[in-house]
Amino acid sequence: MFDKSFFNERSYEGLWTHYKKTFLPIFIATIFSFAFILFFELISIGLQIAHVSKLGLAELTNSGPYAKWSVNDGFKQGLTLLYLFTLPSFVIVIFTLSIVYISISIAKGKKEKDFSNLAGWPVIAYLVTFINSIIFVITLVFTRFENIDAISIIRITIQVISAITTIVFYLLFIRRYMWVKSSYIVVKQYLESIRIQNELKNDPNFQNIFSFINRYSENNNNFEEESKNNNNNSSELSEKEAKRKENFDKLMELPNEKLFDAAKGLFISGYETMSKEKLVNILLDIFEKQEQDKQNYSSNEKEEIKIEETDAVESDNLEEK
């Protein structure tokens, strides 16, 4: 569950290999987190009802936050009921719907082997509860309790447990649930950027640019190795900057429609309102980064293959012995 290696994947197949050991435990823990808080809220509602039944609404109103309001008693009692039951009831409804929507989105994602469309709004609801829990715990530290009955003590204790649990579950599980969704979105964007690049490579205006990016990535790898032994690299940097400037000028000559199509395919937000210079720089940055990522990913795969081959040879040697 706590393995983060899936962040390095750049394909749906690679991400799917993490399903059983990482994603599935995260999904189960996420649903459990919502169900656990829902359970505590149901208990809280039950204790509120018991409190009202024992002391009576009038006495609770006179000791509640609206006791000093200059309004009639009926209105104050109505506000007290809202104060006692509205928030827990709201949380119960929202968290019940959250469990349903999360379960459906997980089932759909499993069927399609794509969790980029996991339900996101339940996490916002949990985040609000998380913030409210932090505020509650901090406030409780500075609160003095006098003459409280047994039911109030039980209710406050349950609220404290619920608040602390909410904080812990959010940090441990809910964030990881969103990490799974984010990792699939990143892969989707990566694959879409590759598709856009392949389409643009057929355009004569872009062919020189992509050949430059490939050379830039190769030179960058060589440059990193050589820089360990040689600090005299100012000429190389100047050449790369000159090449980027040259390709920047070529992109600037393209019509806005072509740049907008590329930006849309690469999920660049707000490209319609950007200056042309800014959009061109972003496109060049993305193309260079994706090419570098491809090379890094390929080198990692080669290293893994070498390690597997070495392990296989060692195991064969052990068997021969």
pLDDT of 169-190, one tens digit each?
Answer: 999 999 999 999 999 988 888 8
Q: What is the pLDDT of residues 255-301, one digit of tens each?
A: 788 778 777 766 677 878 888 888 888 887 877 776 666 666 556 55
The residue among 168, 188, 208 that closes a domain is 188
pLDDT of residue 286: 77
Which range of residues forms the domain containing residue 304? 243-313
- Residue 127 — very low, low, confident or very high, per pLDDT cuts 50/70/90? very high
- Residues 293, 146, single domain; the answer is no
Clarify whether residues 154 and 261 are in a common domain. Answer: no
CB hemisphere CA count around 297 (13 angstroms): 16
In this structure, the number of other CB atoms found within 10 A of the CB of residue 173 comes to 21
Between CA 159 and CA 166 the distance in angstroms is 10
Furthest CA-CA distance within the chain: 93
Is 12 inside a domain boundary?
yes
Last residue of a domain, one of 141, 172, 188: 188
Phi, psi (deg, nearest 5) at residue 114? -150, 110
> Are 95 and 183 within one domain?
yes
**Domain shared by 120 and 48, yes or no:** yes
- Based on the fold, state whether residues 157 and 300 are members of the same structural domain: no
pLDDT(94) > 80: yes
pLDDT at 213 over 70: no
Domain assignment of residue 203, yes or no: no
> What per-residue confidence (pLDDT) applies to 305?
53
Are residues 309 and 179 located together in one domain of the fold? Answer: no
pLDDT at 175: 92
Please indicate, yes or no, if residue 206 is contained in any of the structural domains.
no
Measured CA to CA, the distance from residue 136 to residue 152 in angstroms comes to 16
CA distance 178 to 176: 5
DSSP string, 159-210: HHHHHHHHHHHIIIIIHHHHHHHHHHHHHHHHHHHHHHHHHHHTSHHHHHHH
Residue 49 CB neighbour total at 10 angstroms: 12
* Residue of 105, 99, 125 whose CA lies nearest to 117: 105
In this predicted structure, the answer to whether residue 154 has a pLDDT above a threshold of 60 is yes
Q: Structure pTM?
A: 0.63
Would residue 276 count as lying in a domain? Answer: yes
105 and 42 within one domain = yes
Indicate whether 163 and 267 sit together in one domain. no
Distance CA 261, CA 232 (A): 41
Rank 109-113, 211-215, 294-298 by mean pLDDT and report only the highest.
109-113
DSSP structure string for 20-48? IIIIHHHHHHHHHHHHHHHHHHHHHHHHH
Query: Which pLDDT does position 276 carry in this prediction?
Result: 84
- If residue 211 lies in a helix (H) or strand (E), which one and from where to where? helix 204-226
Q: What's the rounded Cα separation, in Å, for the pair 220 and 226?
A: 10
Angle between helices 204-226 and 234-252 (to 10 degrees): 160
End position of a domain, from candidates 167, 188, 209: 188
The CA-atom distances, in angstroms, between 28 and each of 90, 122, 210 are: 24, 15, 44
| Residue 294: exposure state from Cβ atoms within 10 A (0-12, 13-18, ≥19) | middle
Calculate the average pLDDT of the chain: 74
Q: What is the DSSP letter of 274?
A: S
Residue 109 has pLDDT above 80, yes or no: yes
Count structural domains, the chain. Answer: 2
**Would residue 294 count as lying in a domain?**
yes
- Domain presence at residue 307: yes
- In the chain, pLDDT over 90 holds for what percent of residues? 22
Dist. CA 213–CA 201, nearest whole Å: 12
Is residue 193 a part of any domain in this protein? no
**According to the model, what pLDDT value does residue 72 have?**
47
In angstroms, how far is CA 115 from the centroid of its own chain? 12
* 175 and 248, same domain (yes or no): no
What is the arithmetic mean of pLDDT over 24-47? 89
Same domain as 174, residue 259:
no
**Whether residue 260 sits in one domain with residue 160:** no
Report the phi/psi class of residue 270: left, alpha or beta, with left for phi > 0 and alpha for psi in -120 to 50: left
Is 134 among the domain residues? yes
